[in-house]
Structure 1
Amino acid sequence: MDACCIILTCLLLIQMAVILIMLNPVYDVKKISQYLTTVTKTHKTFYFCSITCYFLSVVYLGMCVPLQSIHSLIFSNILNEYDKLILLSRVEKNYIIAGFSLFLVVVMYGIRALLLYTASLVDLADNNDSLLRSESKVQKKSHPNILPSLLRVKRSISYETILFTNEIREQLKAVIRNIEFPHNRCALSSILETMHVNI
């Protein structure tokens, strides 16, 4: 293995380790998202310099160096068949590792967005639980109106995270069914109809 392949493999292993740490269920989602936001906001110059160095190294080691090797492979008459096969295998390795590394960058950014979204849902659920507990201690029969906050979160959801829609809908139905309305039952049916229209 040449030095370019070793460096690209090390970068790929670092990316795999970061993805596994981000997806590990042992760690708290809120702590990981807070750490990611603090790193990207407080250390902006280091963050952007590391991203720039990563892309420059991948482009140079994974694309420019193999193109130079292909050029020497085509136009060189000095190399014998064995050397040409070794050079061709190095070029293939570097291209494959660089391509997979660039793919993992996209995966890392998707996982980061998913973690931030999950942390915001956990915060919303914690806030609603604490609000429900405090209101139940003060007044036993009155329930807080959490419908506007849930609908506000629903409006801010991007279409990439549509998988959570059914879960939110079921939780909202359960909350609405547990609320005791002083009016008749038609108010509950109208709220459920508006919820289906909004969702």
Structure 2
Amino acid sequence: MDIDFKKWAPWNWFKKEQEDQQNAASLPVQRSDLPVAGSAVSPIMQLHREIDRLFDDAFRGFGFPTLASPRWPSELPGMLRPALDIQETDKQYTIALEVPGVEEKDIQITLDNDVLVVRGEKRQEQEKKDGGFHRIERSYGSFQRALNLPADANQDAIKAAFKNGVLSITIDKREAGAPKQGRSIPING
């Protein structure tokens, strides 16, 4: 009796984003509290660094920026990371990406090497002449999400629709082994 363990393990949709995070984490880190050669490091400072490292390791997988490593590429200043849902049925995958305040014309979806990339920009255009603002709590800037498609995703049958600030992408399933090609995916409003 052969058991196909691949059916039991969930597909890693975020493999590309995790690779980008690992690449960013391998960059050199500049910290002002690192010891200078020949100077003594206090045990308190060593404990402090170790606690920072433990918290960084614990929260790294959740997308939180860490103290000892650079942020996710999509969390650089001015970059947003919209939430998404992925649902699977017997016949298709459905991805819902929340992008409130973004217009359809500011979203671009591309497919290349089994990676579906959604890019866009949320703009803050505000013109109010009377009264001063004391605080504005709206986010704006660029965003990008990269999703690795599973082997059974029919890359020729990807459809996207945009309604009420939610981008819905449906991907039909296909038999494994059909040829794949990169292309741009239009959004139907």
TM-score range, shorter chain: under 0.3
> Hey, which of these two has a bigger chunk of strand by percent?
2
TM-score by length of 2: 0.26
Larger radius of gyration: 1
